[in-house]
Amino acid sequence: MKPRRLTAVTLAALTATLPLAACGTDDNSGLPGAVDFSAETLRCAKESGTLLASGSSAQANAMEVWVNTYQANCEGSQINYKPTGSGAGIQEFLQGTTAFGGTDSLLTEGEVNESRSVCSHDGQSGRAVHLPMVAGPIAVAYHLPGVDELVLDAETLGRIFDSQITRWNDPAIAELNPGVDLPRLPITPFHRSDGSGTTDNFTSYLHAAAPDAWPYEPDKNWRGQGGQAADGSSGLVGMVQQNEGAIAYFELSYAHQNDIPTVLLDTGAERPVAASVENSSTAVAEARVVGRDGDLALELDYTTSEEGAYPLVLITYEVVCDRGNNPDTLPLTRAFLRWTASQEGQRALADIDYAPIADDIIRRVRERVADLS
């Protein structure tokens, strides 16, 4: 299929048309920046069709940009990504109902073994592999009238989200914020009610950086005590907006779109570190590939105290079969993921509060996508 010419105007005009973002108070309109694309970069699949995918809500805003761009320039192709959360996305992929799943958590050994039955078509037998496609900071957002800047560290965050610190004027918070007039307001921590890779990464950070304050093993499902729950990142956004004293965690793009202040992390560096694309990129650059046999799973250092490194980050993977993909959707899967991993596709992320994957790693992702069979 011959692609239509890609333009920044076309991309911007279509942003609000794709119904993939989670419902709620988060306004995802106007997401993409004015990025110039070339038809050579986005090569459409030879045949049109429909591609179903689901999973991580952390990458919903990135998917909106990618999907709108692909559909606008590859006539007849329909890509339906549902931000159901990492847990549900992987479950649907393992049931064979989607072409790929988005997840912010690595598959377990059992899930990889389970994938072998799904990754079997036309005499080919394969397994699920991780393709890192999106990175970015997890923001800790709060609703505290009169407090425009707030510093917290991992230990204090762990105690807040485990309901051990219950008021905003607690001495532990006051010590980190000298001169700030902290109200004697109850703290209402909110966490995800659904199985979430964002929760997995958030609790991985707490457990690694403050194991005494957060003794629970990281998990997609919430393990802390107390607090209140909401569904998806958009649900947490709504709870923070509606409740004075609230604190929650979600992707930075949601905080910026809804003008919600975010916590600066005291990591032990000389200065507290803000949640930003630049600061998260500093931390993500230290990630190393730990997957084997073509799997590109990464390992992050949540305990870094490097100056300007924001360690509370996540990486979202597209999980696909290395071999044995459904032949009916394989061409469109390859074409779409080739676009998301392209230089221009990755460059678009910085304008919507995501960090592009490091060059040496995304190059390996492109090679892996080309080899899918």
Residue 123: per-residue pLDDT: 86
Using 50, 70 and 90 to split pLDDT, how confident is the model at 40? low
DSSP 302-316: TT---TT----EEEE
Per the prediction, the chain carries an average pLDDT of 88
Using 50, 70 and 90 to split pLDDT, how confident is the model at 232? confident
Q: What does the pLDDT look like over 126-151, one tens digit per residue?
A: 999 999 999 989 999 999 999 999 99
DSSP at 5: P
Q: Comparing 39-53, 96-110, 130-144, which segment has the lowest mean pLDDT?
A: 39-53
The residue among 366 and 122 whose pLDDT is bigger is 366
Return d(Cα 77, Cα 91) in angstroms, integer: 25
DSSP at 354: -
Ranges assigned E (strand) in the chain: 50-55, 78-82, 100-103, 120-121, 124-125, 128-142, 151-153, 188-192, 228-230, 246-251, 264-266, 288-289, 298-299, 313-321
Q: Is the CA virtual torsion 282, 158, 353, 84 positive or negative?
A: positive
Pairing of strands 188-192, 100-103: unpaired
Domains detected in the chain: 8-134+317-370 (3.40.190.10), 137-284 (3.40.190.10)
pLDDT at 301 over 50: yes
Return d(Cα 371, Cα 349) in angstroms, integer: 24
Size (the chain), residues: 373
State the pTM of this model: 0.78
